Chains A and B, each alone.
Chain A
Amino acid sequence: MTLADTFARTRAEGRAAVVGCMPAGFPTVEGSIAAMTAMVEAGVDIVEVELPYSDPVMDGPVIQRASDIALAGGVRTADVLRIVEAVAAAGAPVAMMTYWAPVEKYGPDRFARDFAAAGGVGLITPDLIPDEAGEWLAAADRYDLDRVFLVAPSSTDARLAMTVGHCRGFVYATSVMGVTGARERTSSAAPALVARVRAADPAIPVAVGLGVRDGDQAAAVGGYADGVIVGSALIRCLLDAPDEPAGLAALRALSADLAAGVRRSPSGRAAAKVQA
């Protein structure tokens, strides 16, 4: 299943997609496979596997802590690719969130080849802007992978149009100026940013990330975006749990809550269609 297929399906159902993020190898290689499989079984539509990196400057304390645990456990890029393969078997498309350094070291072409072979569908690149992405764009085309770049409230119209033009799969709209992490309120800047992306390209799906922590917030974001990206809140289920079964149970519960949330409010796009 591709990202395009998934968004077509969720649009047909009149709702936003839930994109769930989890660092590969956290808490262990097997534990992360179990966690992401549980997320899919409980209703997460798209899995975003984060490749743990030593210097994750876009991530807040929760994802950084989980990444540190994964790295301290000895997870390697080769393990991450194995995890992608295992999680893809659960049926949801698996995208990867990765800082550029590990991909550059692996070799962008070789990485794209091995990631595609593992069943991955595309990369989300928080510190790679299209301006520097020549090698990756070529590799993505060669192996038919989607490429998801980030746009921010601070992006100029010209940069936003350029960035959206290079996206395939979906556009990642960072809803607040800040790092990842669950917040009390999601941003008021997000609807405006989504509208700007739609103005640049009415067709490509837009997913909103940074700050969503529960079904109610997912319902709110799902009211205007095509996808709701949730990371830190899911990771906390595992970090805060006394043991692995309890963590997986919490993870399933939150995934189900998010899945129910996006079904409570018709997506902005679907709602607009109904009104028309």
Chain B
Amino acid sequence: MGAPAVPDATGHFGRFGGRFMPEALVAALDQLDGAWREARVDPAFTAEFDRLLREYAGTPSMLYPATRLSAEVGARILLKREDLNHTGAHKVRNVLGQALLTRRMGKRRIIAETGAGQHGVASATAAALFDLECVVYQGEVDTRRQALNVARMRMLGATVVPVTTGSRTLKDAMNEALRDWVSTVDDTHYLIGTAAGPHPFPELVRDLVRGIGVEARAQCLEATGALPDAVAACVGGGSNAIGIMHPFLDDAEVRLYGFEAGGDGVGTGRHAASISGGGVGVLHGTRTYVLQDDDGQTVESHSISAGLDYPGVGPEHAWLHDSGRATYRAVDDAAAMAAFRQLCRTEGIIPAIESAHALAGVVAVVPELTAALGREPTIVVNLSGRGDKDMHTAAAYFDLLDTEGGPR
């Protein structure tokens, strides 16, 4: 009867996923899995999660018809405005859910990894709200690139630990968080920021953020009277993408697109496109597509978007790629920044550079979609975050400021 459940009881999406983790952490992963299985069917838990999402995070986020952008790209573009959520991204959904679970498990401390600082800020926010101790690991390189987010996290009461091992970026922050967790697992929850890592994280994070897609599906039906022709999102670890895609998986007529960070171009080797330009391997507890060399050593990723700058991807995306249900393509830095400017100028919306990858990908696929359908397509794009955090990068890229940082 139908397709087998994914993931299976031990967290496998076909050949992907699973648990490649030290035995010392298995008890905690089992505890988390059990707590989530109970909580997800506990009306008190789901009611509180719903209330927080509504009253605190500001969801459901709007589905906005971007008419000027639509006219320019030749498609009906509906933007899922996750950028308007509290803390400015979809990530607040995940941290609120996991903070609730932390309290439910009786733990008093959370740790998190962060690249650009968005997940760190979201975690620090939830920790403040739930009165939890919070330690955020961030690569030393990123703490310098994203000093404002370091200040935000500290303002919210979190401890930020600059990570000086390895490449001193997101993957090393994740290594350091795992090392902390092995030592502190009794009273600490590791609040992973994306739908990756060992089971149950890919499934847990997906379930916490899939409200994005549930809302978008209902909103699209209400606004247009039909399902969209396509749903698009950017993919780093892939939580915003799996969140919006998952409720559409059974709608066979809805095409699903994930746009990875192509950096300087997949052909250059300097990119973060694990599916488009990587291979199958094991990283951070899961089997998935990763960027690695011939010996299985992790290769550094490159993207103008710090939030997509990770050499792996959530295992469910790997599975959706293999099964053909979703299509993954790379969008390079230049195309993403062009789309970034286009949304600013057409709609007065400054997107996260991450989300600009989804917009750029959509611009690129409109011609083939139009040809396949024989009409203008309707496309739901997950505008996963706002771009305030990226103004330093944008100012440098578009040469908006003089060298002292003042107006030209």
Contacts and interface: CB of A to CB of B under 8 A. Distances in A.
Contact of B10 (A56, A71, A131): A131
Contact of A106 (B22, B23, B290, B295): B295
A13 interface: no
Given A101-B283, A128-B20, A129-B19, A54 B27 contact: no
Interface in A28-70: 53-58, 60-61, 64, 68
A101 B22 contact: no
Contacts of B165: 61, 64, 68
Nearest to B290: A101
A88 to B, nearest CB: 21
B180 to A, nearest CB: 9
B282 A104 contact: yes
B28 interface: yes
Contact of A127 (B21, B183, B186, B298): B21
Interface stretch (A3-11, A115-123, A145-153, A262-270): A145-153
B19 A131 contact: yes
Interface stretch (A172-180, A219-227, A241-249): A172-180
Interface in A63-114: 64, 68, 71, 76-77, 100-106
A268 B297 CA distance: 40
B18 interface: yes
A194 to B, nearest CB: 15
A86 to B, nearest CB: 19
A184 interface: no
Given A105-B292, A154-B28, A177-B182, A163 B281 contact: no
Given A60-B179, A100-B282, A127-B20, A154 B27 contact: yes
B294 A105 contact: yes
A54 B166 contact: yes
On chain B, which size bracket covers the interface?
35 or more
A106 B30 CA distance: 30
A102 B296 CA distance: 4
B23 A151 contact: yes
Interface residues of A, number: 41
Contact of B281 (A56, A105, A126): A105
Contact of A100 (B20, B25, B178, B183): B20
Given A127-B20, A177-B185, A155 B26 contact: yes
Contact of B22 (A53, A54, A105, A152): A152
A155 B26 CA distance: 7
Contacts of B27: 152, 154-156, 159
B282 A101 contact: yes
Given A55-B166, A57-B179, A174-B24, A154 B185 contact: yes
Interface in B23-40: 23-28, 30
B22 to A, nearest CB: 5
Contact of A104 (B172, B175, B183, B296): B296
B179 A179 contact: yes
A149 B26 CA distance: 13
Contacts of B18: 131-132
Interface in B270-329: 281-285, 287, 290, 292, 294-298
B24 A102 contact: no
Contacts of B25: 154
A179 B183 CA distance: 7
B90 interface: no
A132 B298 contact: no
Contacts of B166: 54-55, 64, 68
- Most B Cβ at <10 Å: residue of A101, A151, A163: A101
B22 A127 contact: yes
A163 B166 CA distance: 31
Contacts of B178: 57
A103 B296 contact: yes
B171 interface: yes
Given A54-B166, A150-B24, A178 B182 contact: yes
Given A105-B296, A163-B23, A55 B283 contact: yes
Contacts of B185: 154, 177
A104 B288 CA distance: 12
Given A127-B21, A155-B27, A163-B23, A55 B296 contact: no
B22 A57 contact: yes
Interface centre among A54, A104, A163 (most CB of B within 10 A): A54
Nearest to A65: B165
Contacts of A154: 23-28, 185
A211 B165 CA distance: 21
A62 to B, nearest CB: 12
Most chain A C-beta atoms within 10 Å of own C-beta, residue among B165, B184, B285, B295: B295
B175 A57 contact: yes
A126 B21 CA distance: 8
Contacts of A151: 23
Contacts of B295: 76-77, 102, 105-106
Given A57-B175, A177-B185, A71 B297 contact: yes
A77 B28 CA distance: 32
A152 B24 contact: yes
A44 B209 CA distance: 52
A106 B23 CA distance: 23
A61 B22 CA distance: 17
Contacts of A126: 22
Contact of B175 (A55, A100, A105): A55
Nearest to B177: A57
Interface of A: 53-58, 60-61, 64, 68, 71, 76-77, 100-106, 126-129, 131-132, 149-156, 159, 163, 174, 176-179
Given A57-B178, A104-B281, 10 more contacts: A57-B175, A68-B166, A71-B297, A77-B295, A101-B283, A127-B22, A129-B21, A131-B10, A151-B23, A174-B22
Top 8 closest A-B pairs, CB basis? Answer: A105-B296, A152-B24, A102-B296, A178-B183, A154-B27, A57-B178, A101-B296, A54-B298
